[in-house]
Amino acid sequence: MLLLFRNYLWLAPAVLQIGVVGVMARHKLHRRFPLFFVYNLECAFAAAAMFVMWYLWQVPGKVWGYSYLVAMALDTAVRFGVVYEIYAHVFDNYAALKRFGKPIFRGALLVLLAIGLVAAGQSHQQHADFAMYALHVLEQTASVLQVGLLLVLFLLSAYIGLSLRNYVFGIALGLGIYASVKLAVAALQSSSLVSSGNVYRNLVILGSFHFAVLVWLFYLLVPEPVLSRAIGIPDHNLELWNKELERLSRQ
């Protein structure tokens, strides 16, 4: 029964992501969110390919391991891109903040990547496969960024007039839920409360991704409200910072 449920959670999100891709293509949202579009395609293809390799081709464990490594690397790289894409959309109406924020975002990302690689290198003695562990650390870094981005969107939504029904918020919400569950499971695993091969651990992670895809599909199927500045919110803070940065950039 557990095996059947796991197989469902393995394939169902891939099928739903094809639906996400179809809805985005129909409404031309792939032009607005190209990296998120690619992310869904990559995840759906990777899940289907890994499933076929595991059950139909029954490839050797080494081949499976390398394939999983490649899929994990692609997934992590595109997730970083999706985080940046969401950031860019959030500050679309604040040109100066968007322009000045780019190097800050990239710098913070490079620092996080460097910390992850250093941590992986220091733990090399305890982990036989350095590449796998390094990718795991980077994947956790992507999850931290996604959770942080979701919190920022919650805090700034009133100031930038971002509705909770906005596509950007929906994409970030799905990613944030999935990333939060993965970080929580990783914390339990590091404390030895959950083993890496625990079947329930894998079901929880797969289930959280299934829920995230459902969130994306729901948001994409519901018409997006018009973005407008919230009534009653003073026109300082972000707007003031944006104007000040615009002034400094002209000097």
* Radius of gyration (C-alpha) of the chain in whole angstroms: 20
Give the per-residue pLDDT at 171: 92
Q: Is the pLDDT of residue 232 over 50?
A: no
Could you read off the pLDDT of 167-213 as tens digits, one per residue?
Answer: 988 998 999 899 899 888 888 876 665 555 567 888 999 999 999 99
Average pLDDT value for residue range 163-168: 82
Give the per-residue pLDDT at 242: 56
Contacts within 8 Å (CB) and 24+ apart, 64-70: 65/132, 69/131, 69/132, 69/135
Q: Left, alpha or beta for 181 (phi > 0: left; psi -120 to 50: alpha)?
A: alpha
Q: Is the pLDDT of residue 110 over 80?
A: no
* Per-residue pLDDT band at 233 (split at 50, 70, 90): very low
**Dist CA 69 CA 63 (whole Å):** 10
**Dist CA 43 CA 72 (whole Å):** 10
Q: Which domain holds residue 39?
A: 2-250
User: Of 11-20, 49-58, 129-138, which gets the smallest average pLDDT?
Assistant: 129-138
* Per-residue pLDDT band at 243 (split at 50, 70, 90): low
Give the per-residue pLDDT at 231: 38
* Per-residue pLDDT band at 152 (split at 50, 70, 90): confident
**Helical residues (DSSP H) of 123-198, grouped into ranges:** 130-160, 167-190
Could you read off the pLDDT of 26-50 as tens digits, one per residue?
Answer: 999 999 999 999 999 999 999 999 9
**Total number of domains constituting the chain:** 1
Give the per-residue pLDDT at 129: 63
Give the per-residue pLDDT at 229: 46
Give the per-residue pLDDT at 234: 43
**Dist CA 45 CA 2 (whole Å):** 24
Give the per-residue pLDDT at 200: 81
CB 34 within 8 A of CB 89: no
